[in-house]
Homo-oligomer: A and B are copies of this chain.
Amino acid sequence: MKFLLLVAHGSRRSESNTEVEQVAARLAEAAASEYDGVLHAFLELAEPSIPDGIDACLAGGADEVTVLPYFLAAGRHVSEDIPEIVAAKQAEYPDRVIRIAPYLGTAGELPELLLNLSR
């Protein structure tokens, strides 16, 4: 079973975290034919944490978890923090696959999406 885990930074502002939940819910609909489950997690300032989110995917039966960073730039969070957390969880579950997808800011469709927003 394949699970997708949308990972955002997390905010002290609960409405911002709710926006992430809503994007994850819409992603779950879009991904229904490809993934057995879509969950979300936060790096900091909000729950669930990334380790808890990965655990929830594994508890749901995931053989493969794809961690998708909902970040616009490759700062320390994307380049170090998330990979370290994922590596630790991968070491804990060597018989599962936990991979990291490219972060949002690298998406080739961003310019077209932004242009649509401007209209």
Contacts and interface: CB of A to CB of B under 8 A. Distances in A.
B111 A26 contact: yes
A74 B111 contact: no
A72 to B, nearest CB: 7
Q: This chain: how many copies in the complex?
A: 2
Given A23-B105, A105-B23, A15 B114 contact: no
A56 interface: no
Contact of A112 (B8, B30, B105): B30
10 contacts: A4-B118, A13-B75, A19-B73, A19-B105, A20-B72, A30-B114, A31-B111, A70-B114, A104-B114, A107-B113
For the complex of A and B, the 8 pairs showing the least CB-CB separation, nearest first, are: A16-B73, A30-B111, A26-B111, A27-B111, A101-B118, A19-B73, A109-B113, A107-B113
